[in-house]
Chains A and B, each alone.
Chain A
Amino acid sequence: MKADERHTQQVSSTSTTAPSNAGSMLALRGFAWLLALQTIGELLVRQFELTVPGPVLGMLFLLVALRWRAVQTAVSSCAEFLLTHLSLLFVPVGVGVMTHLGIFDTYGWRIALVLVLSTWAGLSVTALVLRWLQKTK
């Protein structure tokens, strides 16, 4: 019985390929939006010698553009895919650490100590300040 249901579900989902096609088309359109806004950001940064990085400007532009439903539907699936796999994107830079191991020969434990302690400081101060502010509200 259950197998039958699943079968009919499968059939119905394969027979209506149009929506899923539209979905992947939308994701590509969303990717085009992300790239276009980043490019505009990069060009403005270069042209006016701004201190803000191009992708950050792109993010601000997208925040404005998301008022339009067409942009929302296009960007949502693409953005969710990119952000779900965000940590993958750090692997190439991470492997690049191996080319700078020289700096750790001279300052190794000192750099490690500074990085660890300052990260802990950032983590605890943010969480504690936020908790305190939420309590007093």
Chain B
Amino acid sequence: MQIIGIVGTAKNTGKTTALTSILDSLSKNEFSLGVTSIGYDGEDIDNLTFLPKPRIFLKEGVIIASSSLTFETSKIKYEILYETDIYTPLGKVIIAKVLEPGKIVLAGPNNIKDLKKIIALFKTLNTDFLFVDGAMNRMAPMYLADKVIFSTGASRSTEIKNIVEEISLISLIFNKNIMPQYDINSNCFFVKNGELLETEIKSLLTKDDLLKLFSYRPENYEKVVIKNIFSSAVVKEFVQEILKKKDTYEMVFLEPFRLLLSMNDISISEFRRMFTNNINISFIYKPSLIAITVNSFYPKYENFHFTAGYIDKYLLKKSVVEGVTVPVFDIFEEGSKDLVKLLS
């Protein structure tokens, strides 16, 4: 089973459009499809802006994981396969097969622990694909996916250069290698001459944590492994420190999304330095980034309400294509026929 995550850099970047288009393209084949969401997706009007939103239309045979209340308010006919003990604000998560097609709002497991359980259950159902729709700009559980698609666009920023700066960095991050797991429990540790030097540090959250980490640091270490959070508060000092070293040098993180969590307007330039200098970065887990979708729509706020706004879609796509190393699609314009070819 392939787990495909659709991650947004912000709300309204076109994740659901991408998902529904992909589901539609794939439904013509014989694939068995599974779908869930880590948020709440497919509503007819946006919870915040009250603008209309695309709804998720499911065909017969699709297997979904969603909360009990979403089944109550949908007209699809379904057969329950599993009733889990996972709860979201909308009730228990149920895995069901669609018997008669219809529209539904998806609200599945919204955290790492629960998504792991759902993935395990889907594996017993022998689905070919499990699509995990993202929510807003949330992404922590997405490292469990095999492949990811990032959706970005004018909702992230109406300035194309800002969109490109972020997505090109994301593309760079996902280009890094995968490093095998080390067999120790420690969250932060150093590697020198093949030996592992453990620390008791749980996360690099604050500057204090960083100082403590440096106190453990052996001379001429080759690698530092940081499995937990690498926060925006420590990036600058850490990068400065590392760039002092002359030799090439390795940093290993658990997975790329926890780095993205720490990326903000201030730390983004530090991250760029981290990824473009003589630092080898690798991840223990890393879904492959197979595609990026772009969306020129954004909710424009004027006169106390929201209306639909658009930036130049040709310039947007062109600029993103130039900044990344994976294929870029404007689903609304092109559909997903070519994107789905990248899935198998």
Asked if chains A and B come from one complex, the reply is no
B interface, CB within 8 angstroms of A: none
A interface, CB within 8 angstroms of B: none
